[in-house]
């Protein structure tokens, strides 16, 4: 199941929105690789890239939050940290069981649902804060 970034998910910070779009593209690549039954190496490369990119993205968001004294910074960072932990478990499962339907389902549950909910609620709230709207 592919996910699609829509303007409704825009937080209003170009750099962050651009990173979100890339995350959606890479998650789609991962899901497609699993669905096509591509080898473990291909899926592992996609997961590795996605894992590294998420860390970069979270770091960039958190720097902005600290720079602008965002009052929800600590809670937001905890959500990021929890996601990274869950994502690591996904990587571990790939190592143990290989790519397949189970990995696709867990990727959808962990990554897709989390990204959409996190962006539409938490990141948009931060965007409003930066724009002086909240």
d(CA 62, CA 76): 8
Question: Which pLDDT score is estimated for 124?
Answer: 93
Q: Where are the alpha helices (DSSP H) in 36-133?
A: 40-67, 73-97, 101-107, 113-117, 124-130
Predicted confidence band of residue 40 (pLDDT cuts 50, 70, 90): low
Question: Which pLDDT score is estimated for 86?
Answer: 87
Q: Taking the model in full, what pTM does it have?
A: 0.82
Q: Mind listing the domains of the chain with CATH numbers?
A: 15-126 (1.20.120.50)
Tell whether the torsion through CA atoms of 24, 92, 49 and 35 is positive or negative. negative
d(CA 84, CA 68): 24
d(CA 23, CA 53): 8
């Amino acid at each position: 199941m592919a996910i699609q970034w829509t303007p409704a998910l825009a937080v209003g910070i170009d750099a962050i929105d651009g990173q979100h779009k890339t995350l959606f593209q890479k998650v789609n690549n991962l899901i497609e690789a699993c669905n096509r039954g591509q080898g473990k190496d291909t899926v592992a490369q996609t997961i590795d890239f996605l894992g590294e990119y998420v860390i970069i993205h979270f770091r960039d968001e958190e720097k902005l939050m600290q720079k602008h004294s965002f009052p929800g910074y600590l809670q937001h960072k905890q959500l990021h940290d929890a996601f990274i932990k869950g994502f690591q478990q996904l990587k571990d499962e790939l190592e143990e069981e290989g790519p397949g339907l189970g990995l696709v389902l867990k990727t959808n549950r962990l990554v897709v649902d989390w990204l959409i909910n996190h962006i539409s609620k938490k990141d948009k709230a931060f965007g409003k804060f930066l724009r002086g709207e909240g």
